[in-house]
Structure 1
Amino acid sequence: MSKIDIRHPHSQPMATARKSLEQVAAKLDDRFGMQSRWEGDTLHFSRSGVDGHIALEPESLHVTAQLGFLLSAMKGSIEQEIRRVLDEKFA
């Protein structure tokens, strides 16, 4: 198993950042069949082969995910896509 661990700064108010994360979650749900749910200020997401969360903090986001065996081979491209989406929503 591989682990993804990304910290991404943001300057949005918490309510705005939460809405932006909800948009990201909707894209993940549509594109990859991810299931997501909020628990406090943490967005949990999962599907077969992936289990992770995005912690919303006042000035940053902390993305962590465990990738199953098959997705471990694609870790680099998955991390790149996460960073691209975060840059797009939280630039």
Structure 2
Amino acid sequence: MADINIVQAHHLAPEQARAAAQQVADKLAEQFELECAWDGDVLRFERSGVSGSLSLLPDQAKLHIALGFLFSAFSSQIEAKVADKMRRVFSAA
């Protein structure tokens, strides 16, 4: 298994941060067929072989992804793409 942890600083209002987080989740859901659900300020997602959460704090977003054996071989590519998406959506405002 491989874990991906990304912390992205932001200066967004709570509703803007939530919209940005949803964009990241929508992209992940599309690529990996994930089920996503909000639990307060934490967006949880999962499917067989992939699980994780995106936590919103006042000045940062923390993403944790746990990859199962089959996906772990692609962890560096997944991390690069997700980090780029987070950088773009959380700095958009």
| Class of the TM-score when normalised by the shorter of the 2 chains | over 0.9
CA distance in 2, matches of 1:49, 1:68: 4
Q: Please list every run of 5 or more consecutive structure 2 residues that lacks an aligned counterpart in the other structure.
A: none
Identity %: 36
Quick one: distance in 1 between partners of 2:5 and 2:27?
A: 20
**1:48, 1:85 → 2: CA distance?**
23
Q: Which amino acid aligns with 2:30?
A: D
Give the superposition deviation at 1:80.
Answer: 0.2
Give matches, 1:1-91, under 5 Å: 1-91=1-91
**C-alpha root-mean-square deviation of aligned residues, in Å?**
1.0
Residues 34-64 of structure 1 deviation map (CA, whole Å, 9 limit, x = unaligned): 1100001000011221010000000001111
| Runs of 4+ more than 4 Å apart | none
